[in-house]
Chains A and B, each alone.
Chain A
Amino acid sequence: MECLLYVLVSISEEEKRAQLLLNLSVEKPVLEEDVELQWRPMFNALEFLPLPEKAKVLDDGRVLIAWPLRSDSDPARYISALTAANVFVMGALEAFEDGGYCYVELPKNGESAVRGNRCAEEEVFFSPRRVAELLSSATS
């Protein structure tokens, strides 16, 4: 069963958003020395993170990122990398190809993100727009 980790982030600063998208793309920098000093913390935080299947810019500076998860993948790795890159994570959920989704509980007080038990039957795997709605309303 395929699983996508959807993460909704918010970045109001356009240049920082562009850097995030770059660091999540196949064109991402390879060596730290090729990165401007101010963006090196982001590069280091995301350097070894697997590339997402999609990173889509929504309105209001939000970006919805979708990573295909393997059975041994831990969503916390992705959330903590984004947090270390100083990117504000609004919400995250795991969507399953055969239907249903479960929210990922975001870290509190320095702990790691964890798979939560807030789940629903609705099919959202192929509906990034619906995922964005769910993650936005969960945080509002």
Chain B
Amino acid sequence: MSQHIEATRRVFDESCALNSEGRKLYYKELVSFVREWLISLPEDYAPYLKTLFFQGLLPEEHEKAMRAMEPLLICLCAPSIDREFIVSIFREYPIYCAAHAVELFRVHFDPNEEEKWGEVIQRYRYVVECLADQRVPWLEDPEEAGRFPFLRLYVRVFAKLHNGTSASQTVGATMLDYVESQFEKVKDLPASQEFLLSLRKRLTALLAGEADNPELVYSDPVLLEFLNRYSSKQLPPSLQLMVEEIYSGLSHHIDFFNGEIKY
């Protein structure tokens, strides 16, 4: 290390081979990604990132080295990650850290059309998927109560379908259960209103049979499963009611029967 920094908090297990050849290749990809996308990092983040990656160490003070992106970067630097690790790291940090990480992903990488940084984005996507977890208390921080980034990811699933593309590449398709389990808590938040309007608009078009590329869209497993939950009244009550209202207001609509859609 050509620059002295204070880093004494161990975040990875020392026994892991942090300097393997494979890790070095991954580090190059990660540095390239960070330089291009994480521009809000402090000016002196780079030696901290290197120390974190190759020694598993950070300063004791949370966010000192890499501000709100610190928990995401811990997850991107770790020798391996799983849901428990991701949740435990993000639980150590304020909730806005998770919100920032999700927002950056939503705006730029959902679905991912970048060929660069394949391994980084793949891991990043997994982090976002795992943040759809009740143990990361999205809704319990009063200052951030208006934020619910996962609702945006949920709406994007239906926007993609409306636009005639498969929903399976969107990260939102992996967290439908989570969003629907939280739906009643977030539907009345001020920040949710524009997304609920957008959701209603997309669902109306889809249920009216107006999707582009209908052959693909009306056989998409994500949409079929959504309609299955609706038919068996498993959607959260407000969403169930929204879909019922949309259906009753349409003179022409698609029909869901025996697991298939007629449009």
Question: Contact: A48 with B35, CB < 8 Å?
Answer: no
Question: Contact: A31 with B35, CB < 8 Å?
Answer: no
Chain A hits for B2, CB < 8 A:
44-45, 47-48
B213: interface (CB < 8 Å): no
Question: Contact: B43 with A26, CB < 8 Å?
Answer: no
Chain A facing B: main interface SS:
loop
Question: Contact: A30 with B47, CB < 8 Å?
Answer: no
Contact bitstring B25-43, A, C-beta under 8 A = 1, else 0: 0011001100110000001
Chain A hits for B36, CB < 8 A:
26
Tell me the chain A residues, 101-116 only, with Cβ under 8 Å from chain B: none
Question: Contact: B35 with A73, CB < 8 Å?
Answer: no
B24: interface (CB < 8 Å): yes
A21: interface (CB < 8 Å): no
> In the complex, which of the residues A30, A31, A72, A73 has the most CB atoms of chain B within 10 Å of its own CB atom?
A30
Tell me the chain A residues, 42-80 only, with Cβ under 8 Å from chain B: 44-45, 47-48, 50-51, 70, 72-73
Tell me the chain B residues, 34-82 only, with Cβ under 8 Å from chain A: 35-36, 43-44, 46-47
Chain B hits for A51, CB < 8 A:
35
Chain B hits for A31, CB < 8 A:
24, 27-28
Counting chain B residues whose Cβ lies within 8 A of the other chain, the interface size class is: 10 to 19
Q: Closest residue to B54 on the A side, CB-wise? A: A31
Known: A26-B35, A26-B36. A48 touches B46 (CB 8 A): yes
Question: Contact: A70 with B24, CB < 8 Å?
Answer: no
Known: A44-B2, A48-B2. A30 touches B28 (CB 8 A): yes
Tell me the chain B residues, 55-113 only, with Cβ under 8 Å from chain A: none
CA gap between A50 and B32 in the complex, in Å: 13
Q: Closest residue to B46 on the A side, CB-wise? A: A48
Question: Contact: B43 with A70, CB < 8 Å?
Answer: yes
Question: Contact: B47 with A48, CB < 8 Å?
Answer: yes
CA gap between A73 and B3 in the complex, in Å: 17
Question: Contact: A72 with B27, CB < 8 Å?
Answer: no
Chain A hits for B47, CB < 8 A:
48
CA gap between A44 and B3 in the complex, in Å: 9
Give, as a whole number of angstroms, the nearest-CB distance from A33 to chain B. Answer: 8
Contact bitstring B11-28, A, C-beta under 8 A = 1, else 0: 000000000000010011
Residues of chain B having any CB pair with chain A under 8 Å? 2-3, 24, 27-28, 31-32, 35-36, 43-44, 46-47
Contacts A30-B32, A31-B27 known; list 11 others, CB within 8 Å. A26-B32, A26-B35, A30-B28, A30-B31, A31-B24, A44-B2, A45-B2, A47-B3, A48-B44, A70-B43, A73-B43
Residues of chain A having any CB pair with chain B under 8 Å? 26, 30-31, 44-45, 47-48, 50-51, 70, 72-73
